[in-house]
């Protein structure tokens, strides 16, 4: 399903290892990370594939593709590390755009080369991974932004499950800098009562966990009009009852 891993004679292997579809220098706030080296820039890299199938994905042109349907460039960990280290005013590397956890071996191999040079490693992820993957990643991860998409019913529509994401958040929150994002989609996860429950749960881990409440716009298969600004603000206010740091996104 994820298009980035294959069964190689019984071995679950990363097939998109080192295959980059996107590379850009972004403001750290675009990840979004609001309280991790604010004002800095970070090189962002993406491959192809994803282990969820969100009909509103803004990066479907790479996340919902495979090696036969997308253009990519081969870059070894050594080559990517060279680019990271030679990019001026660069904090490090953010693995983003598609789902980075399906390529966790590549992340680790790259991180080993750059963290000893003082560069940071950021993961922008849906949080859908088993514990053994996270255990390997965390020693090489400085910050994460994890999507918290909705309740169990909504996750079933997307091909995932809420329990796994909660488990991921609960495991990593005290091992790296963590920020969480909820994209508010009309009729799917726009209930302030749900938002307050999730914020209370996050606060039970650490009230300093940063939450981004972002406004949905029509993308890929979703044609529903953009989320009303008032709905996003109501979700923000519900979350702010429990969390110290709640930000809104896409309210232009």
Q: What per-residue confidence (pLDDT) applies to 180? A: 99
State the Cα–Cα distance between residues 220 and 34, nearest whole angstrom.
Answer: 27
Please give the pLDDT value at position 240: 98
Using one digit for the tens of pLDDT, what is the confidence trace for 40-98? 999 999 999 999 999 999 999 999 999 999 999 999 999 999 999 999 999 999 999 99
pLDDT of residue 7: 95
Domain that holds residue 137: 5-249
Tell how strand 5-8 and strand 11-14 pair up.
Answer: antiparallel
Would you call the peptide bond into 32 cis, given omega within 30 degrees of 0 as the criterion?
yes
Assign 242 a pLDDT band (cuts: 50, 70, 90): very high
Percentage above 70 pLDDT, the chain: 100
Q: Mean of the pLDDT values across residues 129-156? A: 98
Domains in the chain: how many in total?
1
- The dihedral over CA atoms of 71, 13, 18, 61, expressed in degrees to the nearest 10, equals 30
Is a pLDDT exceeding 90 seen at residue 252?
no
**37 neighbors 252 (Cβ within 8 angstroms):** no
Strand 143-147 and strand 120-125: pairing?
Answer: parallel
pLDDT over 90 percentage in the chain: 100
State the chain's mean pLDDT as an integer. 98
pTM for this one? 0.98
Residue 211 confidence (pLDDT) above 90: yes
pLDDT at 40: 98
Rounded Cα gap, residues 165 and 186, in angstroms: 21
Task: Confirm if 7 and 58 have CB atoms less than 8 A apart.
Answer: no
CATH number at residue 92: 3.20.20.70
pLDDT at position 207 is 98
């Amino acid at each position: 399903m994820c298009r980035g891993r294959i069964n190689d004679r019984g071995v679950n292997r990363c097939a998109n290892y080192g295959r980059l579809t996107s590379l850009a220098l972004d403001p750290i706030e675009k990840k979004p990370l609001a309280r991790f080296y604010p004002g800095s820039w970070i090189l962002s890299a993406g491959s192809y594939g994803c282990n969820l199938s969100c009909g509103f994905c803004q990066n479907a042109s790479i996340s919902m593709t495979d090696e036969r349907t997308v253009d990519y460039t081969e870059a070894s960990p050594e080559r990517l590390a060279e680019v990271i280290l030679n990019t001026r005013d660069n904090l490090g590397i953010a693995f983003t755009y598609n789902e980075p956890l399906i390529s966790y071996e590549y992340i680790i191999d790259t991180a080993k080369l750059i963290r000893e040079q003082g560069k940071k490693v950021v993961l922008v992820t849906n949080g859908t991974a088993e514990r053994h993957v996270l255990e390997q990643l965390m020693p090489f991860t400085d910050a994460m932004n994890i999507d918290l998409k909705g309740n169990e019913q909504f996750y079933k529509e997307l091909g995932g499950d809420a329990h796994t994401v909660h488990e991921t958040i609960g495991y990593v929150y005290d091992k790296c800098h963590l920020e969480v994002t909820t994209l508010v989609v009309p009729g799917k996860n726009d209930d302030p009562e749900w938002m307050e429950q999730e914020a209370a749960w996050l606060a039970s881990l650490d009230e300093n966990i940063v939450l981004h409440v972002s406004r949905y716009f029509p993308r890929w298969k979703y044609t529903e009009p953009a989320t009303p600004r008032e709905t996003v603000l109501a979700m923000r206010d519900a979350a702010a009852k429990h969390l110290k740091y709640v930000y809104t996104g896409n309210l232009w």
